[in-house]
Structure 1
Amino acid sequence: MASSRAVPNLEFRRLRGQRSPGEFAALVRRAAREIGEQVACDARYIGRVEAGEIRCPNYAYERVFLHMFPGLTLADLGFSARETVRGRAARGRTPRPPDPYHSNNGTNSTYSNEESDVLRRAFMTSGTVTVAAASLGFGPLPGTEALRSDLPRQRIGASEASAVEAAVRQIRLLDDRHGADGLHRRAAQPLRAAYALLDAGATTRGSTADRLAAGAGELAISVGWLAHDSGRLEDARSHYAEALATARVAGDTALEAHAFCNTSFLARDAGRHREAVRAAQAGQRAAGQLGSDRLLALLTLREAGAWAGLGERSGCERALSRAHTLFGRGPSDTDPEWMSFFGEPELQALEAQCWSALGDWPRAARHAHRAAALQDPHFARNLALYRAQLAADLARADAPAEAAAVGEQVLDALEGDVESTRIRAMLDDTARVLGSRRSTAGVASFLDRHAATAPAAAARV
């Protein structure tokens, strides 16, 4: 954990160069995948390393960093020798076995043990909630089985806030790789625990209270997104409203901007386009205080999509122009952690959605193709989404053979690890459009395969 004696790691900061902490964290995650490791690296972790709070990384991060910088040692990267860090932490403490919740949590040994204690206390045996470890099917995540309001309140501290933040990151990582359908119901369990902790810590003050509120609100948005992506729009609306209320009570403009961003997206999908415009504009007002051009760009793209849904081409084009200008200013250290998905591929995909809504199918297809071509395969769910958008646009742009070929790639993803009602619905629509073009090369094969997978997909819902 941090201490007053922490010495900044200038060597590590030098290696980051001109990249933002978020951009460098993305490179760390990519390097981890290259060697089969899984680390939940984000801008906050990079900041803690550079501040000297993490004197030595855990073994997973050590392997990743040495892979990224071949020929360098941990000392060359500015870290302390592992034995000196562990020797201090171990004095006067009984050794304990590794905790399965945090074998790869991206912290040093001391922090790992402390956070493991927190997860057990906050999510399994706290005086506020009775909980159990709930598997999401793709990895462990703490969650609740039952809430108890009859027990006395306890002191809620920074460790509980860290546990909530860890749950948010885990859900986002799993959604990136697998989509929402398999996660939604089980992800609601840690959300209940987070709000129980928030309620139990109602008298907590200062930065800990702010972190706990922000964590609970971000978790509500994450669970709302899982509901949104799996077609449960009213559930999503409730979760987004919960996050917005939390933001307003806590005076958290960053959380407020995020909640409005997702609310706008949801309203557009539900056909409430004027509400989508208002929510996007409200999000821009909140984000204006945060100094993140990328966040403003995303919110402006939400506004553009809403104008397109209304058939307002001029309003859409103005918003797209503003969004490109904001995006072109580049990333910064003020960009929110949750925006790791928002790069050039997402920009192209959101613009494709605009032209699709306006009925300009060839132009939509060009942008959707760019999105799919640029997307990092790590974001498996988003890659499948971009290809589903491309298939739909190609089908309507009178390119049935190309649409079928891309549709086959989407089916590959849906038969693999990706589960998304949104993507399945888009592919269903493409199949309907291609129904009259069965004689075109490749179309019959796609339609038959799509039809064969439909019953299995329905059974999973």
Structure 2
Amino acid sequence: MASTAAVPNLAFRRLRGPRSAGEFAAAVRRAAREIGEQVACDARYIGRVEAGEIRCPNYAYERVFLHMFPGLALTDLGFSARETVRGRGARSASGPPPAAGHAAPSPSARPGRTPGPDPDDGSGGPGVPDIHDIPEESDVLRRVFMTSGTATVAAASLGFGRPHASAAPRVSLPAQRRVGEAEVSAVEEAVRQIRLLDDRRGADGLYRRAARPLRAAYELLDAGTTARRATSDRLHAGAGELAISVGWLAHDSGRLDDARSHYAEALATARLAGDAGLEAHAFCNTSFLARDAGRPREAVRAAEAGLRAARTLGSHRLVALLALREAGGRAGLGDRTGCDRAIGRARSAFERGPAAGDPEWMSFFREAELELLEAQCWSALGDWSRAARHGRRATVLQDAHFTRNLALYRAQLTADLARAGRVDEAAATGHQVLDLLDRVQSSRIRGMLAEAARMLEPRAGAADVAAFLTRHGTLPGASDGPGRRTEAED
């Protein structure tokens, strides 16, 4: 079957206007939430659309785009009519797209298939795209994601492809397997799905399952051969980013030694591939981990190494984040002057705005995150009132899409308010964190909240504080400190 060269979608590019691909992707996610959809849209997806690689979006994206641009049809947005697209889109063309607010039936709900997981359990359904929606109108990539070693382990271990992860067989890759576009895309998609689930629910419960597709990705690196250097570079980058994502899950769930190992693996992969972007990301996370592990000098050194790696990447936002990592380390050293200077550099770089060189993984780094990281610096330096001021601003600015981060920001603010003596406000903010903990599973956040509760205990005579402490005391492992885990989390 002859392949058709992709034709750039200039109409869609015009609709994006002056916004960066990352900013436009964020607008797409916001529009999705307005109509009850959840799409894992990011800068790379927008790039694929504009490059003409996605000739027709899946039904969820179609509903979102038509909501964003009322009065326009898919063809007005530069897409091909659904009935002209080969594969899944063509087979589905006989029926109209479902009405807004009603998800298209997933393969797990079709006759003859075992029913899929609960729609809101983080593994498929309306809340999170299931594996059959990952490759937009691409049967080839869907088959590879479900049959290749990387794809099968990723899908099963994260609950995308089967009702129960434990039912998935272990898949070993044959020696000298030729790696192509489909396998590399499967690795990249595994990274996106882990990030999406973490944004919504936190790391606990994800870490052990996410480690399995990571092993499969490195099996591809070890046993596979590639036809093109570009494919090899993407595979190294994808495996490295997957190592960082899994390392973050370990970090957030209190497994700091595991996180350190995964970040070191990503750094080694970056060095082998000569990938400055991956190296900067690995050093960024290593700095963050060192700060949390009580190694502030290492945090500073890792941030400085990340800044050196980032020099040629053209991303002011990445420079800003790495400067904040340095500031966090300097705060841990008690270096108020050095911390303040690093924060100043971070704000100057951030104010230069987004750029084409901004990495895809930095979608979380917005003004709210900048405020939160500055709040943590002042907290480490003992300036509780100043920390609380920035913490309040972080909670106001944070996008509700990042549920886990919203819980984190409020937990930080609760602790800073308690230290600053604003106990009633601390108790009220603590209740807001508790409201989110039925959806967010993060040992780090629960540890921060437990620390805040201990600081409020001397003021338990106040009614608002007593109510918060009573409610907090009902949490499993409520007495655990930061970084500790309960048996239930394993």
Residue 379 of structure 1: aligned partner: 402
Residue 420 of structure 2: aligned partner: 397
Q: Does 1:116 align with 2:142?
A: yes
Q: Does 1:232 align with 2:258?
A: no
SS in structure 2 opposite 1:376? coil
Query: 1:219-273, CA deviations, whole angstroms, 9 ceiling, x for partnerless residues?
Result: 0000000000000000000000000000000100100000000000000001111
1:118 to 1:267, Cα distance in 2 relative to 1, 3 A: same
Cα distance in 2 between the residues matched to 1:169 and 1:220: 12
Q: Is the 8 A contact 1:39 1:105 kept in 2?
A: no
Query: Across the two proteins, how many residue pairs are aligned to each other?
Result: 447
Query: 1:166-197, CA deviations, whole angstroms, 9 ceiling, x for partnerless residues?
Result: 10000000000000002011111111111111
Residue 287 of structure 1: aligned partner: 310
Cα distance in 2 between the residues matched to 1:231 and 1:312: 27
**Superposed CA RMSD:** 2.5
1:180 to 1:229, Cα distance in 2 relative to 1, 3 A: same
Counterpart mapping for 1:15-34 below 5 A: 15-34=15-34
SS in structure 2 opposite 1:454? coil
Q: Is the 8 A contact 2:266 2:278 kept in 1?
A: yes
Q: Does 1:198 align with 2:227?
A: no
Residue 297 of structure 2: aligned partner: 274
Aligned AA (1:120): M
Q: Does 1:102 align with 2:120?
A: no
SS in structure 2 opposite 1:364? helix
Cα distance in 2 between the residues matched to 1:121 and 1:275: 42
Pick one of 361, 366, 370 that aligns with 1:343.
366
When the two structures are superposed, what TM-score results if normalisation uses the length of structure 1? Answer: 0.91
Query: 1:10-61, CA deviations, whole angstroms, 9 ceiling, x for partnerless residues?
Result: 2111110111001101111121222222222111111111122222211111
Residue 114 of structure 2: aligned partner: none
Counterpart mapping for 1:2-401 below 5 A: 5-86=5-86, 102-105=131-134, 107=136, 109=137, 111=138, 113-123=139-149, 131=153, 133-136=155-158, 146=170, 148=172, 151-202=174-225, 205-401=228-424
Counterpart mapping for 1:411-422 below 5 A: 411-414=434-437, 416-422=438-444
Cα distance in 2 between the residues matched to 1:314 and 1:298: 18
CA drift of 1:86 comes to 3.2
SS in structure 1 opposite 2:349? helix
SS in structure 2 opposite 1:370? helix
SS in structure 2 opposite 1:348? helix
Q: Is the 8 A contact 1:29 1:38 kept in 2?
A: yes
1:139 to 1:452, Cα distance in 2 relative to 1, 3 A: farther
Cα distance in 1 between the residues matched to 2:154 and 2:240: 22
Q: Does 1:409 align with 2:432?
A: yes
When the two structures are superposed, what TM-score results if normalisation uses the length of structure 2? Answer: 0.86
Q: Give aligned-pair identity as a percent.
A: 70
Could you tell me which runs of 5 or more consecutive residues in structure 1 were left unpaired when the two chains were aligned.
Answer: 92-96
Q: Is the 8 A contact 1:184 1:226 kept in 2?
A: yes
1:203 to 1:31, Cα distance in 2 relative to 1, 3 A: closer
Could you tell me which runs of 5 or more consecutive residues in structure 2 were left unpaired when the two chains were aligned.
Answer: 92-104, 109-129, 479-484
Pick one of 420, 423, 427 that aligns with 2:445.
423
Aligned AA (1:304): A
CA drift of 1:204 comes to 5.2
Cα distance in 2 between the residues matched to 1:206 and 1:441: 65
Q: Is the 8 A contact 2:323 2:345 kept in 1?
A: yes
Cα distance in 2 between the residues matched to 1:226 and 1:4: 40
Residue 451 of structure 1: aligned partner: 473
